[in-house]
C-alpha cells in the first residue's frame, strides 16, 4: 500500500541517533554509501548490513519501518537482477545465449540486489531519525561555502526539504484518490499493462491538482508569516556538535576500515568461518 511508504517520514523517539547533529548524520550517510560500494564481497556487504542493523537498534526505530522502504525499489531490484541473470557473459568474446543461466550470473544478481537494498535502507534511517527542518538546516550549513559564489544555498535546502516531506503526503493522497475511484467502480488491478496504465489517468489528474493546491497554500502560508530567505535570517535552534557525533564518526570509520580489510583478506576470513562452522 502507498500509505506504507516510509521514505521522507519522521519517526519521533528519544535515541542516540535522533540526538546527533544533522550535518554529521548527512556526512555519515555519505560515508555509509561509500562503504556499500567499497564492499566487493558478500562478507563485506553482510558486515555493512550488520552495521546498519546496529544503527537501527540504536535509533529505536522499528525495523519494520526501515524494511518497508524497500517497497519503493522492488521493481528496480527485480529488473536489474533479471538483466544480470539473462545477460551475464562468462568470458569476453564468448557466444551468449539469452536462455542460459549461469551460476555467476545468479551470484552477481543477488549481490547487486543486496547492495540496492542496503542503500535504500540506510537512506531511510536518515529521514526516519531527522526532521525536515533539521535536514534543511544541516544541508544549508554543509553547503554554506557555496554562498561565496552567490549560490542560493538556503533556497536549495528549503526546496529539498519540502520535496522530501511531500513524498509521504502525496503517497497518502494517491491512495485516497484510488480508494475513491474504486468506490465508483474503477478497476486498477485487472487487465494488461496498457489497461492498468490507462486506469491511472483518472488518478493522476486530481493528484496533480491537489499537489498544485498544496503548493499554493504553502506559498500563501509562507507569505502570511513574512518569510524571506534573507541573509539576516536567524535560527531558533543552533546546530552544535556533541560526543554522540564523535562516537558515530568513529563507529562508521571502524566499519569502513573493516569492510576494506574484508576485501583484502576475504579468502582467509572465509576459510576461518568455514572451519568454525565445521
Q: Are 164 and 139 in contact (CB under 8 A)?
A: no
Asked, for residue 155, whether it belongs to a domain, the answer is: no
Domain count for the chain: 1
Asked, for residue 224, whether it belongs to a domain, the answer is: no
Asked, for residue 119, whether it belongs to a domain, the answer is: yes
Tell me which of 98 and 191 has the higher pLDDT. Answer: 191
Question: What per-residue confidence (pLDDT) applies to 91?
Answer: 60
Asked, for residue 159, whether it belongs to a domain, the answer is: no
> Per-residue confidence at 254, pLDDT binned at 50, 70, 90?
very high
Q: Are 112 and 73 in contact (CB under 8 A)?
A: no
Question: What per-residue confidence (pLDDT) applies to 1?
Answer: 47
> Per-residue confidence at 258, pLDDT binned at 50, 70, 90?
confident
Tell me which of 70 and 191 has the higher pLDDT. Answer: 70
Asked, for residue 114, whether it belongs to a domain, the answer is: yes
Pull the grid cell for residue 151: 549560490
Q: Does position 134 have pLDDT exceeding 80, yes or no? A: yes
Pull the grid cell for residue 46: 553482510
CA 114, CA 165: separation in Å to the nearest integer? Answer: 27
CA 15, CA 58: separation in Å to the nearest integer? Answer: 7
Asked, for residue 221, whether it belongs to a domain, the answer is: no
Please compute the mean of the pLDDT values over residues 130-157 and round it to a whole number: 82
> Per-residue confidence at 252, pLDDT binned at 50, 70, 90?
very high
Asked, for residue 92, whether it belongs to a domain, the answer is: yes
Kindly report the average pLDDT of the chain as a whole number: 80
Q: Does position 86 have pLDDT exceeding 80, yes or no? A: no
Please compute the mean of the pLDDT values over residues 53-73 and round it to a whole number: 86
pTM of the prediction?
Answer: 0.77
Question: What per-residue confidence (pLDDT) applies to 55?
Answer: 92
Task: Tell me the per-residue pLDDT of 15-56, one tens digit each, with 9 for 90 and over.
Answer: 889 889 999 999 999 999 999 999 888 888 888 999 999 999
The percent of residues above 90 in pLDDT, for the chain, comes to 13
Question: What per-residue confidence (pLDDT) applies to 253?
Answer: 92
DSSP notation for the chain: -GGG--TT-------TTTTS-HHHHHHHHHHHHHHHHH--SHHHHHHHHHHHHHHHHHHT--HHHHHHGGGGGHHHHHHHHHHHHHS--SSTT----TT---HHHHHHHHHHHHHHHHHHHHHHHHHHHS-HHHHHHHHHHHTGGGGGGT--HHHHHHHHHHHHHHHHHHHHHHHHHHHHHHHTT--SSSS-HHHHHHHTHHHHHHHHHHHHHHHHHHHHHHHHTT----TT---SS-----HHHHHHHHHHHHHHHHHHHHHHTHHHHHHHHHHHH-
Range of the domain at 121: 1-130+242-278
Asked, for residue 46, whether it belongs to a domain, the answer is: yes
Task: Tell me the per-residue pLDDT of 150-187, one tens digit each, with 9 for 90 and over.
Answer: 888 877 877 877 877 777 788 788 888 888 877 877 77
Tell me which of 26 and 206 has the higher pLDDT. Answer: 26
Amino acid at each position: 500500500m502507498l500509505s506504507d511508504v516510509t521514505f521522507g517520514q519522521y519517526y519521533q523517539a528519544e535515541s542516540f541517533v535522533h540526538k546527533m547533529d544533522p550535518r554529521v548524520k548527512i556526512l555519515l550517510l555519505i560515508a555509509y554509501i561509500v562503504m556499500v560500494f567499497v564492499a566487493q564481497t558478500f562478507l563485506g556487504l553482510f558486515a555493512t548490513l550488520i552495521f546498519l542493523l546496529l544503527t537501527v537498534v540504536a535509533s529505536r526505530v522499528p525495523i519494520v519501518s526501515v524494511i518497508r522502504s524497500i517497497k519503493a525499489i522492488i521493481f528496480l531490484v527485480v529488473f536489474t537482477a533479471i538483466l544480470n541473470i539473462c545477460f551475464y557473459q562468462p568470458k569476453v568474446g564468448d557466444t551468449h545465449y539469452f536462455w542460459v543461466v549461469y551460476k555467476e550470473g545468479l551470484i552477481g544478481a543477488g549481490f547487486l540486489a543486496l547492495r540496492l537494498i542496503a542503500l535504500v535502507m540506510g537512506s531511510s534511517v536518515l529521514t526516519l531519525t531527522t526532521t525536515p527542518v533539521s535536514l534543511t538546516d544541516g544541508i544549508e550549513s554543509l553547503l554554506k561555502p557555496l554562498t561565496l559564489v552567490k549560490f542560493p544555498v538556503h533556497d536549495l535546502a528549503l526546496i529539498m526539504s519540502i520535496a522530501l516531506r511531500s513524498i509521504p503526503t502525496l503517497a497518502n493522497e494517491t491512495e485516497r484518490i484510488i480508494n475513491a475511484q474504486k468506490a465508483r467502480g474503477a478497476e486498477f488491478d485487472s487487465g494488461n499493462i496498457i489497461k492498468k496504465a490507462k486506469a491511472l489517468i483518472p488518478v493522476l489528474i486530481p493528484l496533480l491538482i491537489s499537489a498544485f493546491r498544496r503548493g499554493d497554500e504553502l506559498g500563501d502560508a509562507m507569505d502570511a508569516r513574512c518569510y524571506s530567505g534573507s541573509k539576516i535570517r536567524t535560527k531558533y535552534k543552533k546546530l552544535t556538535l556533541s560526543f554522540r557525533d564523535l562516537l558515530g564518526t568513529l563507529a562508521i570509520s571502524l566499519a569502513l576500515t573493516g569492510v576494506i580489510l574484508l576485501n583484502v583478506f576475504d579468502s582467509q576470513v572465509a576459510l576461518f568461518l568455514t572451519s568454525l562452522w565445521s
